[in-house]
Amino acid sequence: MSLVRRAAPDDAAELLRLRQVMIDSMAGSDPGTDWHAESLPTLRERLASDEDFGAFVVDHPERPGALAALVVGTVDYRIGKAGDPHGKVGFVFSVATDPDARRRGYARACMDELLAWFRERGARRVHLTASTEAAPLYASLGFVPKPDPLMELKL
């Protein structure tokens, strides 16, 4: 039996806590959790109903009700192209492990489940942005670095 399970709406607060762990570990991130209360209803809704939103978690072995790890991703549509005529692309945007539960293989196990979920939905490519610390894990799963022309506009 796998330690990994699909996240449920009741996990939403813990998902936000672990997402904050990830955010806090990134240089130049905005500190604070004042956005959690506003985000919680939308996250619960997505966890309950969205077929293109996948969150996989491991329960914390020492803290009942807490999560040890999470991965979250979406399947997006892009107009098809050679090698990917259906244009389904997976995007991993949150991977976090509670600091006291690291080095136990939880993130890898969650990533394995998320990648299987992407395959089931017909995604032929998966994108993510890797921190320096996480890059070896992603490389071991087959991810390769790409030139990143990412630009952002805040609306």
pLDDT in tens, 101-145: 999 999 999 999 999 999 999 999 999 988 888 899 999 999 998
Which pLDDT score, from 0 to 100, does residue 106 have? 97
Question: Does residue 148 lie in a domain region?
Answer: no
Please say whether the beta carbons of 77 and 137 come within 8 A: no
Alpha-carbon span 139 to 145, nearest angstrom = 8
User: What average pLDDT does range 75-96 have in this prediction?
Assistant: 93
Question: Does residue 146 lie in a domain region?
Answer: no
Which DSSP letter does residue 89 get? E
Please say whether the beta carbons of 94 and 22 come within 8 A: yes
Question: Does residue 149 lie in a domain region?
Answer: no
Task: Provide the residue range defining the domain that includes 67.
Answer: 4-140
At 27, the pLDDT band (50, 70, 90 cuts) reads: low
Question: Comparing 98-102, 133-137, 151-155, which segment has the lowest mean pLDDT?
Answer: 151-155
The number of domains in the chain is: 1
Question: Does residue 152 lie in a domain region?
Answer: no
Does residue 76 have a pLDDT over 80?
Answer: yes
Alpha-carbon span 100 to 134, nearest angstrom = 17
